[in-house]
Chain A
Amino acid sequence: MLSIKNLQARIEEKEILKGINLDIKPGEVHAIMGPNGSGKSTLASVLAGRADYEVTAGSVEFLGKDLLELSPEDRAREGVFLAFQYPIEMPGVSTTNFVKTAVNEIRKYRGEEPMDAVAFLKLMKERMKLVNIDQALLSRSLNEGFSGGEKKRNEIFQMAMLEPKLAILDETDSGLDIDALRIVAEGVNKLKSKDNATLVITHYQRLLDYIVPDYVHILYKGRIVKTGGKELALELEEKGYDFIKEELGEEVESPL
């Protein structure tokens, strides 16, 4: 469904992605791990179409379309969803109103009628349960004054409402306590089907105990330097990121 070939991107003259190759098929869960600053969020942003990044080489095909040719909103409408590492605030716009607008914009793109209020509320009630989120939170201004955990749960709630084909979760686990982590992970698992795929970006192995990946990729300095099964995550956790450096024959900085 997603095929990334030699993707290179930069921001303000700084090369960040230096040739990413990645293939994701329907039904699969891929995890991308890597130290801070390795380019994980950049990859997510480039896939979602953020204008700040300049793609300098490579291609991305998504469901037979050239993803890089599409506007950010059309990518979303085609089924790419990004759960943001840092969700933004929208004063005065409730989550309910926001999601309703999003759902109907996507339906419009597909040539469907807007969802009526009753059907929308029904769907919302059902999806709220998935992430254990309550109505009161959804009536408040989107992300304004939300705790870290509430923001992340809200992202997954939106994902549940929009039913994407490819969900990219950018450090959705960071800032979550173990209970919230479990709730979020369970929500993601319930949304999994043979037709959609998930790309989980994380710094820690912890989340992968709950969302079990088919593949784990290690991103390091803008390249995928190692790919393996779920064991790779455990190995990484055990040995730390230094083991990648050793494998690559780089000098490991002394902790002192």
Chain B
Amino acid sequence: MSEMLNTLEQTALSEYKYGWVTDIEADEAPPGLNEDIVRFISAKKNEPEWMLEWRLKAYRHWLKMSEPEWANVKYPKVDYNAIKYYSAPKQKKTLNSLDEVDPELRATFEKLGISLDEQKRLSNVAVDAVIDSVSIATTFKKELAELGIIFCSMSEAVQEHPELIKKWLGSVVPMTDNYFSALNSAVFSDGSFCYIPKGVKSPMELSTYFRINAENTGQFERTLIVAEEGSFVSYLEGCTAPMRDENQLHAAVVEIVALDNAEVKYSTVQNWYPGDKEGKGGIYNFVTKRGICAGVNSKISWTQVETGSAVTWKYPSVILKGDNSQGEFYSVAVTNNHQQADTGTKMMHIGKNTRSRIVSKGISAGFSQNSYRGLVQVGKNAVNARNFSQCDSLLLGDKCGAHTFPYIEVKNSTAQVEHEATTSKIGEDQIFYCNQRGLDTETAVALIINGFAKEVMNQLPMEFAVEAQKLLAISLEGSVG
């Protein structure tokens, strides 16, 4: 096409508005990884012996593994010995209340739009904030405790609820699952733990915000959500990082367990620093997220809006073990400039009458590569399993790429698996139509993108949806002239 697409190619990077660095003294491990570092992390956290043993086992396993290469992404090899595996913001003493949180840190969270202020009850979101590697504060703890809901940092859970951690940690994503899950199991520094007792519906959204701050630090958080029989929880995860020239590694593990009739809704707005417009810097986001619908009639729903990171490699999945259980995956992945995303899901149908729904919307601009990779597996006992997958790609310009890799493995003849895929381009006609109604091109693109992603955005809780809409617009700013 004509002029517009030429300007499209002259993609200018939008300002990454979360790119500041907080000046906080950190308590760090030296770079590099060996058993001593694992011991150091465990000791820092005052962990019981069983936890250290678990970590060491994972570390020893990791040593025998090699980094996977099958994803449709290219990046220079990570030097695992150049990374610092532990960096905690230095705090003078143990905190008795939120008021004692370092004012610098509080300011950080305020910039992120997260209020740690328990007075702001209106927002009705309980927040666990993780900076670099350590959980800083969890809000609404008391209110949640009255219902028997446990929502705390992983370190605290190891101390306070060892029986639950021993039972569930690694039960969905075994330490040996893959290279990054093994690494995470060895060196995870913190994360959130969330336990919803039998029959309890969480009255508020539970939310964790992650931020990488220190330089050359890997962030390896670990999230575990257990929903007992008949319970419900909606969980939100948000992430940002400062602008750095060096790539930083983020390798998290999230595990979800839903027992009989339980439902977990997990929403992510991922906005890690994507690198500059030449592709320098940015976060490597290699995440393992998996849930198990262990009980009958249980449901796990993943919703993700992925706008950040230089390289994203992530497949939130659901094991549909309980009969009549349901898994959902709703995803919007935006890539611009030199970003690369290889993301999708795995739906493993094991129980009878299990259903899954996949809605993936990929938006590519600049020189970016955006891949959907999905596996729908129907086991031999999964009678009447149903899957519906919809994968749509939208291209802005002609230097970017969209790829779809759907894999289907069916071992039961009663299964119904449907897959639909479309690829479209934002047309000059659409933009001109909008221009003619008084919308400038940026506004037009934002409108078209949000329309394209609507089915996924509708899945997000209200307070997240607005933020996510803005993010979509921001991450594509300057990608259309």
Residues of chain A at the chain B interface (Cβ within 8 Å): 48-52, 71-73, 75-77, 81-82, 84, 87-88, 90-93, 97-99, 101-102, 105-106, 109, 141, 158, 162
Q: When chains A and B are docked, how far (Å) is the Cα of A100 from the Cα of B339?
A: 33
Report 21 cross-chain contacts, Cβ distance below 8 Å, ordered by A residue: A51-B3, A51-B432, A72-B435, A73-B436, A75-B436, A76-B437, A77-B438, A81-B436, A84-B433, A90-B447, A92-B450, A92-B452, A92-B455, A93-B448, A101-B439, A101-B443, A101-B447, A102-B437, A102-B439, A105-B438, A158-B437
Q: Mark B406-431, 1 if CB is under 8 A from A, else 0.
A: 00000000000000000000011110
Are A93's CB and B2's CB within 8 A?
no
Given contacts A102-B439, A106-B438, contact A141 B451 (CB under 8 A): yes
Check B432 against A50 for contact (C-beta < 8 Å).
Answer: yes
A71 CA / B432 CA spacing, docked (Å): 11
B27 at the interface (CB under 8 A from A): no
A92 proximity list for chain B (CB < 8 A): 450-455
Question: A102 CA to B437 CA in the complex, in Å?
Answer: 6
| Shortest distance between the CB of B425 and any CB in chain A (Å) | 13
Give the shortest distance, in Å, between A138 (CB) and chain B (any CB): 15
B453 CB contacts on chain A under 8 angstroms: 92
Q: Nearest 8 A-B pairs (CB), nearest first?
A: A92-B451, A93-B451, A72-B435, A92-B454, A102-B437, A76-B438, A106-B438, A105-B438
Those of B427-481 within 8 Å (CB) of chain A = 427-430, 432-433, 435-441, 443, 447-448, 450-455
Chain B 1-21: CB-based contact to A (< 8 A → 1; otherwise 0) = 011100000000000000000
Q: Flag if B440 contacts A73 (CB, 8 Å).
A: yes
| Bound: A193/B453 CA distance, A | 41
User: Do B436 and A93 have beta carbons less than 8 Å apart?
Assistant: no
Closest to B449 in A: A92
In the bound complex, CA of A98 to CA of B430 (Å): 12
What chain A residues lie within 8 Å of B447 (beta carbons)?
90, 93, 97-98, 101
CA distance A254 to B436 in the complex (A): 41
Report whether B443 and A76 are in contact in the complex, using a CB–CB cutoff of 8 Å.
no
Tell whether, in the assembled complex, residue A162 and residue B438 are in contact, meaning their CB atoms are under 8 Å apart: yes
Complex partner residue of B451 from A50, A72, A77, A90, CB under 8 angstroms: A90
Return the CB mask of B173-197 against A: 1 if under 8 Å, else 0: 0000000000000000000000000
List of B residues within 8 angstroms of A99 by Cβ: 437
Check if B451 sits within 8 Å of A51, measured CB to CB: no
- The one of A49, A51, A98 in contact with B437, judged by C-beta atoms closer than 8 angstroms, is A98
Number of interface residues of B (CB under 8 A): 25
**Is the pair A73, B4 in contact by a Cβ cutoff of 8 Å?**
no
Task: Let me know if B438 and A51 touch, CB within 8 A.
Answer: no
* Closest beta carbon of chain A to B11's beta carbon, Å: 18
Choose among A49, A73, A91, A162 the residue that contacts B452 (Cβ–Cβ < 8 A).
A91
- Determine if B438 and A87 form an interchain contact, defined as CB atoms under 8 angstroms apart: no
How long is the Cα–Cα vector from A141 to B430 in the complex, in angstroms? 13
Q: What 20 new A-B contacts, CB under 8 Å, besides A88-B427, A105-B443?
A: A49-B436, A50-B432, A51-B4, A51-B432, A52-B428, A73-B440, A76-B435, A76-B438, A77-B438, A81-B436, A84-B436, A87-B433, A88-B429, A90-B433, A90-B448, A93-B451, A93-B454, A101-B443, A102-B438, A106-B438
Asked whether, in the complex, the Cβ of A73 is within 8 Å of the Cβ of B451, the reply is no
**Which residue in chain A gives the minimum CB-CB distance to B458?**
A92
B254-283: CB near A (< 8 Å → 1, else 0) gives: 000000000000000000000000000000
Q: Give A87 to B455 CA distance when docked, in angstroms.
A: 23
Partner of A51, one of B2, B427, B450, B452: B2
Query: Within 8 Å CB of A98, what residues of B?
Result: 437, 447
Chain B residues within an 8 Å CB radius of A102: 437-439
Measured CB to CB, the closest approach of chain B to A140, in angstroms, equals 12
Nearest CB in chain B: distance from A156 CB, A: 13
A71 touches B448 (CB 8 A): no
The answer on a CB contact under 8 Å between A72 and B448 is: no
CB pair B440 A48 closer than 8 Å: no
Q: How far is the CA of A150 from the CA of B220 in the complex (A)?
A: 54
What's the nearest-Cβ distance from chain A to residue B451, in Å? 3
**A67 vs B455: C-alpha distance when bound (angstroms):** 39
The residues of B that contact A72 with a CB separation of less than 8 Å are 432, 435-436
User: Are A73's CB and B429's CB within 8 A?
Assistant: no
- Report whether B433 and A88 are in contact in the complex, using a CB–CB cutoff of 8 Å: yes
**Chain B residues, Cβ within 8 Å of A81:** 436
- Contact in complex: B451, A49 (CB < 8 Å): no
A50 and B1 CA atoms in complex are apart in Å by: 13
Bound Cα distance A109, B439 (Å): 10
Nearest-neighbour CB distance to chain A for B324, whole angstroms, equals 31
Shortest CB distance A106–B (Å): 4
Return A241 CB to nearest CB of chain B, in Å: 29
Give every chain B residue within 8 A of A73 (Cβ-Cβ). 435-436, 438-441
A contact residues around B438 at 8 Å (CB):
73, 76-77, 102, 105-106, 109, 162
Nearest opposing residue in chain B for A158, CB measure? B437
For residue B428, which residues in chain A have a CB less than 8 angstroms away from its CB?
Answer: 51-52
- Asked if A71 and B454 sit within 8 Å, CB to CB, the answer is no
Question: Measured between C-beta atoms, what is the minimum distance from B342 to chain A in Å?
Answer: 25
Chain A nearest CB: distance from B286 CB in Å? 31
Shortest CB distance B116–A (Å): 32
Chain A residues within an 8 Å CB radius of B450: 92-93
Q: Is the CB of A52 within 8 A of B433?
A: no
Flag if A90 contacts B436 (CB, 8 Å).
no
Q: How far is the CA of A98 from the CA of B443 in the complex (A)?
A: 11
A50 to B436, CA, bound (A): 9
Q: In whole angstroms, how far apart are the Cα atoms of A87 and B427 in the complex?
A: 13
Chain A residues contacting B441 (CB-CB under 8 Å) are: 73
Tell me which residues across on chain B come within 8 A of A52, comparing CB atoms.
2, 428
Closest residue of chain B to A108 (Cβ to Cβ) is: B438
Known contacts A72-B432, A91-B451, A92-B453; decide if A162 and B437 are in contact (CB<8 Å): yes
Hey, which chain B residues are within 8 Å of A90, CB to CB?
430, 433, 447-448, 451
CA distance A238 to B443 in the complex (A): 47
- The answer for the CA separation of A102 and B447 in the assembled complex, in Å, is 11
- Give Cα A31 to B175, complex, Å: 75
Q: In the bound complex, what is the Cα–Cα distance between A217 and B53 (angstroms)? A: 89
Closest chain-A Cβ to B440's Cβ sits at a distance in Å of 5
Known A-B contacts A92-B451, A101-B443; the reply to A49 vs B430 at CB < 8 A is: no
Evaluate contact between A71 and B435: CB separation under 8 angstroms. Answer: yes
C-alpha spacing A236/B356, complex, angstroms: 63
CB distance from A60 to the nearest CB of B (A): 16
Closest to B452 in A: A92
Q: How far is the CA of A77 from the CA of B435 in the complex (A)?
A: 9
Which residues, 189 to 219 on B, are CB-close (under 8 Å) to A? none
